[in-house]
Structures are given as C-alpha cells and as structure tokens.
Structure 1
C-alpha cells in the first residue's frame, strides 16, 4: 500500500531532499501540496506530478485522502501545523529544530503525549545514522566511559542557497544556525551517550549574514556523569571542514571521523585497563550513511502500516532535548559561561 503525502511548504529543502526521497519511497506517494506563495506550489506540483494544490494550509489537514502531512515550514509555524494535525487527526512530521523556542516545543511535546494515536515526528535524520549504532557497539568495548570531544567546524559558505531566505536572514528560532545545524550534531552525540544535564558555554557571532551568534564552544556534563566538550560552527574563514567525535574510556577509545571528503569510519582502540590488558586496534567503515530523509520515511511508513511507533527515534521529546541544549548554551553564554541546567519539557 502507498500512503498519500501532502507536502506543506514547497521550498528548497522540499524540492531538493524530500521530493526525491518520497518518489523513491516504498511507502509514500506525493499526493498534494501547499505553499503560501501559490506559484511555488505550482512549480513543485509539476515536478512532483501532483494534481492537487490547496489554497489554504488547513485544507491539507481536512483532506481525508492524506495519510501524512510533511510540514517543511519555518519552524516558528510548527506548533500551528501540529495543532491542525491534532484537530483533524492527521499524522505529521515537522522540520527541525522542533520549534522556534522551548515554550513552543513544550506545547508540541504535550500535544504528542495527549494524542498517542497520532504520529507526530520531527524530521531529524541524524537520529537514524548508522554511526549511532556502530558507535554504541564500539563504546561497549572500552570499559567505563569518562569523557568525549565532539567538534564540527568549517568555513562559511557564501554560496549557501538558504542565505537568501527570510527565515535565515532574520531567524525567529533561537540560535539561528546554532540550532538549525546544531541539533543535527546533538542528535548524533546524545544518540550515543544519552542526554546532557548541564552546559557551560560561550557563543559569538562571526558573520552578519548568520543573523545571530554562529559559533559555540562548550563544556557539558551528561546525565550519566560523563564530561566532554561540544564545539560547533561553520562561520570561519578558509579552513577544512572537520567533524570528529572521540570517546574515552578506562579500557580504550573510539574515534569517529565524519569530515566531508574523507572515508567515513570509526577507529576502535581497546586496552589500557591494566598493564596486562590485551590491546588491539581496528577500523570500522560507515558505508552508505543515511544522509537523506529516505530512512525517516521508511520508519514513518512502517509505523503507519503496523501502528507501532517504537521505531520512531525523532520524537518531540527527543527533539525538545536537542533544542534545550542550544537554549542552555545561549543562556550560559549570556551569563559569561555560567553553568545552566538543560530544561525538560
């Protein structure tokens, strides 16, 4: 069975990423669309071979033929979209970060809990990375984990097609680039090591085009007691894009290099617990990583088919935590790096 999808918000990401994934999906068929600028919806509909274009967003939720609303809106409108989904009992996935701020995000979490019969998910494909499971397996071999280093830094991209959009020039979501891209990084970090308890951070603004602070350096403590550093920013001058995640235990270490243009792999080093502990090292490649929304749609399709939502990792609760970490970092920076406890919904 193919489920019918309405794409609400037919902008760049809908065209470049979601439409190809939907066309290739074994579960879904692009069925209808809406955009507040109808001309953009008409262009999208032509590319998607869609016959139905709504004049009002609410019509997408009213349509009894629609099985899933794929809402790719500026995130300050996610709460309104979720409220419509609840009103008309419609499954929905919304773009990350979950909302513009924690107040809106908490309302989405509440609506999700109050409506367990509906799928309310967040489009956060990093939650489904193969690297998450590979890292967890590797970490299980290095004894007690004590610390980590997570860093993703790079050069500012003046050719970024999203720079011309109003939601990017004047971000309504807290942190701008820091939350928009940072939640990806935090999906990977927390997917492996669990939730973050508290943050000490400093943020700065490098580029006027970013709209707000765009680099983040922080010390964090996990709920487990593990300590580490989280660094994120792609606003610098000429430099390589560097993405690394290193986890240190009392019987070894795990190192993931997921920098662009390098073969994606993790290196497991075991040993060092005692002078007699046997040591070894091995590389584990991460092949065909899920860097498109395709895996997300597989998970959503299976959930609709079976009624079992347990495979959905990017729930509102999980996405709330990712945004709450950015919120805590921004608050910490505004207080000169003071410790801030990460909020819960």
Structure 2
C-alpha cells in the first residue's frame, strides 16, 4: 500500500504555496493522495492544480455534502498525515479530529485564535497523542533559510552583542485583495483580523533572529479602515528581560501599495548592524541580509565593512521537508513546535490588549489571559 498525505483546505495558500513546495521536493515528499475542501469546486481546482505541477495521479477529491467527505478521507488507512490549511477559527477542531483518526498533522499558522485556546489544544495533544503522532505548526518565516542564516551570523558574534532592534511589517489590504475576498477573512471570527493572520509571521521571524525570547510588550492597537475590522495596526515597544529591547510596527492599513519599509528587520549590535528584508531580483524572491560592521584600530573606528548575503525564499519547502523527516523518525530541524508558535499569538494578543500597559508574555502563556 502506498502511504501518502492529504491537504485539508483548498484555498489560495494551499494552491500557491503548498502544492509548489510538494512538487519541488519531488521524491522527498510523500505522495499527495487526497484533497478536502468544504466545496466541491475548490477541491476540484486544487486537485487540478496539483496535476498541472506534476503531482500525479490526480489527488482524490473530498468535500462536504458528499459521501466522500472529511470523515471518509480520515478513515483512509493509506493516508498517514494531513496538511491543514483551513480558516483560523476552524483549524483547532480539525487538528483534533485528524489526530483522533491517527493522522500526523502539519497545521498552518496561527496555532490557534487565542492563547487560552492554544494552551488547551496543546495540552490535549501532549496528553493524548504526542507519544505516537507528530503535530507541527507550519510557520514559513521560522523555516526561512534567510532568517536562519541571519541567526547564525548573530550567534557567531559578527555584529557583537545585540543591543536593540526594529521590526516593521506594513502594507495595505484593500477589498480587491485575493486574501480579503475569502469570506472567513472578510468578517473574521477571531481577534486582530489580518494582524493575527499575517502578523504572526513577523513574530516568528523575531523568534529566529533574536538570541533571546521576548518577555514584555507595551503597545497600542487601532483600526484605520473599517473593512479591516477589528484592528489593522499595532505599534509596540518590547523587551527581552534586561538583555535588549526594540520596536515592532505591524500594519495592514498603510495608505499606498509602496511603503518605505514593507518587510524590514534591523538588528543593532555592539559592533555593527544587520538588516533583513525580502526583495525581488530577476523575478526571484530573495531574503537579503546586509551586515555593516565597524572596523576598529586601537579602539577607534577606521572604516565600515559591508557584507551582503542573499538566500532564496523557500520556507514552505523547508517546513514540509522537515515534517516528512519527523514523521519518518529521522533527525530534522527543530521546527513547528506548537508552544513556540503560541508565543507568536501571545505577542499579537498582548499588542491588541495592552493599551499602553506592560504585559508579561511568559505570564500570559502560563495563564492564558
């Protein structure tokens, strides 16, 4: 019997990110045997897209209002794992349903709509399934080769001790945006709207880049465009204990498509700085690292040395490869830990609720509120 996987959810990201990553992995990926969606139309479209990318034979189609539904898919003995790419509010229940059916799970970020729900979900997994099944959270920024290369540079001491940092994610989601047009995003049944959906990427990148986890947040959240309810912007000051502090700006309510700083991380150390951002070059997506160091003679700076490191964007491919290795019992990258992913949700939740008060992230993660 050929053992393979199924994709649960046939939306934009499943078709535009997961399918191409599976195709790029080739023989290193388990075969895609089935696709589930709530609607027959989107399930068909996803299956057809898989075939166009060379993923054959065509994955079987499962959808609601049919005998070939999610329950029948999960009953298949030849499917050992599922990739869950579903609406945020629905995802936790489907994760548990798949685990109860004996399937390994890779679920798209965020791990849960809020910290309390995430803690409950993680506890259930740890108590009932962790000994026999793998559950990982797919967060492509955590797996992104560029961010991991930047972390290695920082750990090697190339910019000295980290003193402070800045992270900026700005953009505008208008009513014609393909992601906005998905009904569950248009009227979100979860906190933060696009700030939770997209902002967790920035938080995950900071988890990778910085040498210590962030411990405290003080910030303000606002809504600047009614169609982006409940919030579209967070400005926060954050710190990692007594070690360093920084500024995080997240906004999906920027007024123009072009922004001075769309995706930017600046890490400032005692001996230099490093910027990390995404660029397009010759049609390819690249994560560019720019390291600037001061060269000193007898303690006095004499010149600056600039180093550029480019890494191709490929976080989804990396996280999928690592998931397949994990369910095969092979050594692999430490990616997708649900509790670590919940830190990203905690950051967004703290930023939404702070109103200028200092919020202890470790306390929030311990108590869920």
Instruction: Check whether TM > 0.5.
Output: yes
Partner in structure 2 of residue 103 of structure 1: 116
Structure 1 pair 80–157 and aligned structure 2 pair: CA distance change class (3 A): same
TM-superposed deviation, 1:258: 2.8
Distance in 2, Cα, partners of 1:267 & 1:44: 38
Structure 1 pair 20–144 and aligned structure 2 pair: CA distance change class (3 A): closer
Partner in structure 2 of residue 315 of structure 1: 337
1:177 aligns with 2:199: no
Aligned CA-pair RMSD? 2.4
Contact kept in structure 2, 1:143 and 1:251, CA below 8 Å: yes
Partner in structure 1 of residue 293 of structure 2: 270
Contact kept in structure 2, 1:200 and 1:220, CA below 8 Å: yes
1:144 aligns with 2:161: yes
Distance in 1, Cα, partners of 2:44 & 2:314: 30
1:131 aligns with 2:146: yes
* TM alignment of 1:203-242, pairs within 5 A: 203-223=221-241, 225-238=243-256, 240-241=258-259, 242=261
Distance in 2, Cα, partners of 1:2 & 1:329: 46
* TM alignment of 1:76-95, pairs within 5 A: 76-95=89-108
Superposed CA offset, 1:73-105 (max 9, x none): 112122212212331221011121111111221
Partner SS state of residue 131, structure 2: coil
1:4 aligns with 2:12: no
Superposed CA offset, 1:108-136 (max 9, x none): 22133231331111121110112222222
TM-superposed deviation, 1:324: 0.5
Larger CA deviation: 123-132 vs 250-259: 250-259
Superposed CA offset, 1:2-32 (max 9, x none): 7511111112222222222223332222101
1:295 aligns with 2:318: yes
1:50 aligns with 2:74: no
Contact kept in structure 1, 2:319 and 2:335, CA below 8 Å: no
Structure 1 pair 331–2 and aligned structure 2 pair: CA distance change class (3 A): farther
Distance in 2, Cα, partners of 1:224 & 1:21: 40
Distance in 2, Cα, partners of 1:68 & 1:224: 42
TM-score of the pair, normalised by structure 2: 0.84
TM-superposed deviation, 1:238: 2.1
* TM alignment of 1:10-21, pairs within 5 A: 10-21=10-21
Contact kept in structure 2, 1:265 and 1:284, CA below 8 Å: yes
Distance in 2, Cα, partners of 1:33 & 1:265: 35
Distance in 1, Cα, partners of 2:46 & 2:286: 34
Structure 1 pair 209–66 and aligned structure 2 pair: CA distance change class (3 A): same
Structure 1 pair 63–155 and aligned structure 2 pair: CA distance change class (3 A): same
2:277 to 233, 257, 267: 257
Partner in structure 1 of residue 55 of structure 2: none
Partner SS state of residue 5, structure 2: strand
TM-superposed deviation, 1:304: 2.0
2:34 to 32, 35, 43: 32
Contact kept in structure 2, 1:102 and 1:320, CA below 8 Å: yes
1:162 to 150, 173, 179: 179
Larger CA deviation: 98-107 vs 176-185: 98-107
Partner in structure 2 of residue 119 of structure 1: 134
Structure 1 pair 92–240 and aligned structure 2 pair: CA distance change class (3 A): same
> Structure 1: which 5+ residue stretches go unaligned?
none
Contact kept in structure 1, 2:5 and 2:31, CA below 8 Å: yes
TM-superposed deviation, 1:311: 1.8
